Structure 1
Amino acid sequence: MRARLTLLAAAVSVLILVAFLVPLALLVRTVAEDRATVRATADAQSLVPVVGTADPEAVRLTVEQLVADSEREVSVFLPDGTVLGSTAARTPAVALAERGQSLTAESAAGREIVIAVQGRPGGTWVIRTVVPRADLTEGVGRAWLVLTLLGVLLVLIGLAVADRLARTLVRPITDLSAVSHRLANAELDARVTPAGPPELREVAGALNHLAGRIQELLVQEREQVADLSHRLRTPLTALRLEAESLPDPQDAARVAAAVDGLERAVTGLIRQARWRSPAAGTVTGDAAAIVAERVAFWSVLAEDTGRAVRLDLAPGPLPVGVPADELAAAVDALLGNVFAHTPDGTPFGVRLAVDGERVVLTVADQGPGISPEAVRRGASLAGSTGLGLDIARRAAQASGGDLDLRSGTGGGAEVSLRLGRA
Structure 2
Amino acid sequence: MRRRVLVLVGATTSLVLIAFLVPLALLLRTVAADRAVQGATVEAQAVSSLVATGDRAALALSVAQVDATSAYDVTLFLADGTRLGAAAERSPLVELGARGTSASAVVPGGREIVFAVRDPSGTGGVIRAFVPDAELTRGVTRAWLLLAALGIGLLLVSLAVADRMARSLVRSTIDLAAVSHRLARGELDARADPQATGELGVVAGALNTLAARISELLREERETVADLAHRVRTPLTALRLDAESLSDPRDAARIGAGVDGVQRAVTSAIDQARRRGAEPGGERVVSDAAATVSDRIAFWSVLAEDTERETAVDIAPGPLPVALGRADLEACVDALLGNVFAHTPDGTAFAVRLTPREGGGATLTVADAGPGLPAGATAALRRGVSGAGSTGLGLDIARRSAEQAGGTLRLEPAERAGLRVVVELGPPGTAP
- Is 1:287 equivalent to 2:322 in the alignment? no
Secondary structure at 1:283 match in 2 = coil
Alignment of 1:263 onto 2:266: no
Residue 356 of structure 2 corresponds to residue 356 of structure 1: no
Partner of residue 130, structure 1: 130
Alignment match, 1:402? 408
In the alignment, which residue of structure 2 is the partner of 1:243?
A: 243
Return 5+ residue gaps in structure 2 as ranges: none
TM-score by length of 1: 0.90
The one-letter code matched in structure 1 to 2:347 is G
In structure 2, the partner of 1:175 is: 175
Which residue in 2 is equivalent to 1:312?
Answer: 314
| 1:169-217 deviation line (CA, Å, top 9, x unaligned) | 4433333322222111111122234323465444434433332232222
One-letter amino acid of the structure 2 residue matched with residue 16 of structure 1: V
1:366 aligns with 2:349: no
| 1:347 aligned to which of 343, 346, 349 | 349
Q: How far does the alpha carbon of each residue in 1:137-186 deviate from its partner, in whole angstroms, 9 at most, with x for none?
A: 11111111112112222222222222223333443333332222211111
Moved more, 399-408 or 128-137: 399-408
| Deviations 1:27-64, CA, capped at 9 Å, x for gaps | 22122111111111111121112234435554433322
From the superposition, tell whether residues 312 and 29 of structure 1 become closer, same or farther in structure 2 (CA, over 3 Å): farther
SS of 2:372's equivalent in the other structure is: coil
Within 5 Å, give how 1:95-134 maps onto structure 2. 95-118=95-118, 124-134=124-134
Cross-structure match for 2:325: 323
* 1:212 equivalent in alignment to 2:218: no
What pairs up with 1:24-39 in 2 under 5 angstroms? 24-39=24-39
Structure 2 length as normaliser, TM-score? Answer: 0.88
Contact 2:233-2:263 within 8 A present in 1 as well: yes
**Residue 387 of structure 1 pairs with residue 393 of structure 2:** yes
Letter matched to residue 377 of structure 1: R
Q: How much has 1:309 moved relative to structure 2?
A: 3.3
Deviations 1:336-394 (A, max 9, x none): 22222233333333333313255332223333332211011110000000011111122
Question: Alignment partner of 1:265: what SS?
Answer: helix
The answer as to whether partners of 1:101 and 1:115 remain within 8 angstroms in 2 is: yes
More divergent stretch after superposition (232-241 vs 264-273): 232-241
Q: Matched residue of 2:151: which SS?
A: helix
Alignment-mate amino acid for residue 290 of structure 2 = A
SS at match of 1:338: helix
CA distance in 2, matches of 1:221, 1:91: 105
> Where does residue 224 of structure 1 map in the other structure?
224
Cα distance change, pair 302–79 in 1 and its aligned pair in 2 (3 A)? farther
Instruction: Classify the secondary structure of the residue corresponding to 2:158.
Output: helix
AA in 1 matched with 2:313: L
Shift of 1:122: 8.2
Seen in structure 2, the aligned counterparts of structure 1 residues 62 and 357 have a Cα distance that, compared at 3 Å, is: farther
- How far apart are the structure 1 equivalents of 2:312 and 2:104? 112
How large is the RMSD of aligned CA atoms in angstroms? Answer: 2.6
Three-state SS of the structure 1 residue aligned to 2:409 is strand
Deviates more, 1:311-320 or 1:254-263: 311-320
- Of the structure 1 ranges 226-235 and 190-199, higher mean CA displacement relative to structure 2 is found in 190-199
1:191 match: secondary structure: coil
2:143: which partner in 1?
143
Deviations for 1:215-269, whole angstroms, at most 9, x for unmatched residues?
Answer: 2221111111111122222332333344334454323322221221111111222
Distance 1:71 1:160, change over 3 A: closer
SS of 1:385 mapped into structure 2: coil
Find the aligned partners of 1:67 and 1:349 in 2 and give their Cα distance.
119
Separation in 1, partners of 2:362, 2:54: 119
Aligned residues: percent identity?
Answer: 59
- Residues of 2 paired with 1:285 and 1:48: CA distance? 115
Quick one: distance in 1 between partners of 2:366 and 2:220?
36
- When the two structures are aligned, how many residues end up with a matched partner? 422
Residue identity in the other structure for 1:369: G
Code of the residue aligned with 1:128 in structure 2: it is R
The answer to which of 160-169 and 182-191 deviates more is 160-169
What secondary structure is seen at the aligned counterpart in 1 of 2:357?
Answer: strand
Q: Measure, in 2, the Cα distance between the counterparts of 1:120 and 1:317.
A: 132
Q: Name the SS for the 2:36 alignment partner.
A: helix
